[in-house]
A and B are shown apart, each in its own frame.
Chain A
Amino acid sequence: GQNIDQPTEMTATEGAIVQINCTYQTSGFNGLFWYQQHAGEAPTFLSYNVLDGLEEKGRFSSFLSRSKGYSYLLLKELQMKDSASYLCAVRDPLTGGGNKLTFGTGTQLKVEL
């Protein structure tokens, strides 16, 4: 079956670093995406990992370990605008061919002063 686990909520302080974990068990694996979703808005793409290791993009980094079924999103120098839900999504095969994204339920991050 498809299962993606993320913490439901996290709280961090402005200027700090926070790590949001994601573990997955899916029927296949063709990459992992992280999206950011502010309340009432559309999800927006943050990062993509298909090979093991760390991908860095400015204040955001994402790590993947395929053998462990594990990824994390690292946010540095937190800002108030980083308060949002962070969605982990695995690209896995569809029965009829092609791939789909299976999303976790999201981690609601609150950044406090």
Chain B
Amino acid sequence: NAGVTQTPKFRVLKTGQSMTLLCAQDMNHEYMYWYRQDPGMGLRLIHYSVGEGTTAKGEVPDGYNVSRLKKQNFLLGLESAAPSQTSVYFCASSYGENIQYFGAGTRLSVL
């Protein structure tokens, strides 16, 4: 049972490049989330999804897009990366609004 798997684990981008972060969960959870974690700021919610085909904005959605085409996958896209998007990105999933289970994170640097 893998839980929540994030790919890639590390990535370096140049300003203006695009990329997609993939999150996959094998727990049959309906809810999935994308957070970013920055020093001194705690985890902040970017976007979330309460089921296949649905997405919604969180606290800091600007500059990001998401898609949930399959229940087990939640994709986070950066269309035009900026240095301010340098961060550690965590995906999480939950059964309803209960305990959230987190992936190992993606460390992204935008130069």
Interface of A with B (CB < 8 Å)? Answer: 4, 30, 33, 40-45, 48, 87, 89, 91, 94, 96, 98-101, 103-106
Contact B42 A98 (CB under 8 A): no
4 closest Cβ contacts across the A-B interface?
A42-B102, A103-B42, A103-B43, A105-B42
A-B contact count (CB 8 A): 46
Cβ < 8 Å to A, chain B residues 17-61: 40-45, 48, 50, 56, 58-59
Contact A98 B97 (CB under 8 A): yes
Chain B residues contacting A103 (CB-CB under 8 Å) are: 42-44
**Size range of the interface on B?**
20 to 34
Whole-angstrom distance from the CB of B56 to the nearest CB of chain A? 6
> Bound state CA distance, A45 and B98, in angstroms?
11
Whole-angstrom distance from the CB of A97 to the nearest CB of chain B? 9
Contact B97 A48 (CB under 8 A): no
> Bound state CA distance, A100 and B42, in angstroms?
14
Chain A residues contacting B50 (CB-CB under 8 Å) are: 98
Q: Answer yes or no: B87 CB below 8 A from chain A CBs.
A: no
Chain A residues contacting B104 (CB-CB under 8 Å) are: 41-42
Chain B residues contacting A41 (CB-CB under 8 Å) are: 104-105
Chain B residues contacting A30 (CB-CB under 8 Å) are: 97
Whole-angstrom distance from the CB of B42 to the nearest CB of chain A? 4
Contact B56 A96 (CB under 8 A): yes
Task: Indicate whether A101 sits within 8 Å of B102 (C-beta atoms), given known contacts A43-B90, A87-B43, A96-B56.
Answer: no
Chain B residues contacting A45 (CB-CB under 8 Å) are: 99-101
Chain A residues contacting B43 (CB-CB under 8 Å) are: 43, 87, 89, 101, 103
